[in-house]
């Protein structure tokens, strides 16, 4: 596992593919918390949606930036497309964890250093738990979207970007019909409506729906890659 994670880090560093989404993440988190008296639920709901899109961007960029020859060698060394899927899942999880840390650590750090009235009402442990659950699951779904349209499935970058954007918009479009299992939008709504400091059933269900969708997309991506050669 450590060798695979190191390979992903080195690939991202050499291609610098992760720099634009990283810069966008920092810009967004600073912008969201530039003002005071933020409602915890609403703020975390908004940033969870941001995490979904940013994860799709970051994962897709890293995979697209991997040279074709290097990708083929890595796939062979891992033991085929099935094992390659495990590497892609690890990338998704790493990106989801990183985004979650950034979107939670920054505002909580402001509170820790004594910035007054950052949250109103004050953020509680339950808010942090619900936010961590939501950011991880929403980012995992976004990362799975990035995997689905990454090489070798779609090799033209412009086509892949258009497909990712279309998929994210589709998630928004179908969220009303799916209700409490409507993915990131359902989570954002549930977190906004949740009482202060509570991890509600709606939050858990919406987060679980994101993970189920992410698993389905990764499975579909693996089959697509196998057919693509």
Domain boundaries, the chain: 2-228
pLDDT average, residue stretch 43-63: 97
User: pTM to 2 decimals?
Assistant: 0.94
Confidence of residue 229 (pLDDT cuts 50, 70, 90): low
Position 73 scores a pLDDT of: 85
CA distances from 111 to 71, 118, 185 (A): 43, 7, 27
For residue range 157-212, what is the model confidence (pLDDT) as tens digits? 999 999 999 999 999 999 999 999 999 999 999 999 999 999 999 999 999 999 99
Diameter of the chain measured on Cα atoms: 56
Q: How many CB atoms lie within 10 A of CB 96?
A: 26
Torsion of CA 166, 9, 224, 79, to 10 degrees: -170
- Whether pLDDT at 25 is above 90: yes
Confidence of residue 1 (pLDDT cuts 50, 70, 90): low
- Whether pLDDT at 130 is above 90: yes
119 three-class SS:
strand
Report the chain's terminal Cα–Cα distance, integer Å: 25
Which one has a higher pLDDT value, 222 or 228?
222
Structure tokens at 99: 């985004």
Position 81 scores a pLDDT of: 78
What values do phi and psi take at 38, rounded to 5? -80, 135
Distance (Å, rounded) from C-alpha 102 to C-alpha 70? 30
For residue range 71-126, what is the model confidence (pLDDT) as tens digits? 888 878 888 777 788 899 999 999 999 999 999 999 999 999 988 789 999 999 99
């Amino acid at each position: 596992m450590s060798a695979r994670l190191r390979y992903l880090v080195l690939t991202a560093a050499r291609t610098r593919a992760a720099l634009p989404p990283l810069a966008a993440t920092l810009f967004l988190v600073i912008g969201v918390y530039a003002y005071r008296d933020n409602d915890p639920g609403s703020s975390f709901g908004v940033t969870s949606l941001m995490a979904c899109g940013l994860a799709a961007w970051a994962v897709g960029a890293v995979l697209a930036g991997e040279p074709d020859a290097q990708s083929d060698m890595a796939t062979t060394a891992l033991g085929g497309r099935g094992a390659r899927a495990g590497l892609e899942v690890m990338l998704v999880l790493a990106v989801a964890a990183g985004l979650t840390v950034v979107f939670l650590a920054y505002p909580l750090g402001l509170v820790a250093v004594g910035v007054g009235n950052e949250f109103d009402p004050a953020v509680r442990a339950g808010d942090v738990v619900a936010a961590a659950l939501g950011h991880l699951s929403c980012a995992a779904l976004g990362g799975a979207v990035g995997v689905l349209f990454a090489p070798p499935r779609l090799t033209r970058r412009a086509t892949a970007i258009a497909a990712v954007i279309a998929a994210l918009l589709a998630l928004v479009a179908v969220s009303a019909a799916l209700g409490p299992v409507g993915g990131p939008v359902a989570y954002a709504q549930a977190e906004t409506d949740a009482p202060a400091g509570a991890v509600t059933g709606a939050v858990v269900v919406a987060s679980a729906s994101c993970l189920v969708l992410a698993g389905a997309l990764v499975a579909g991506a693996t089959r697509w890659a196998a057919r693509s050669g």
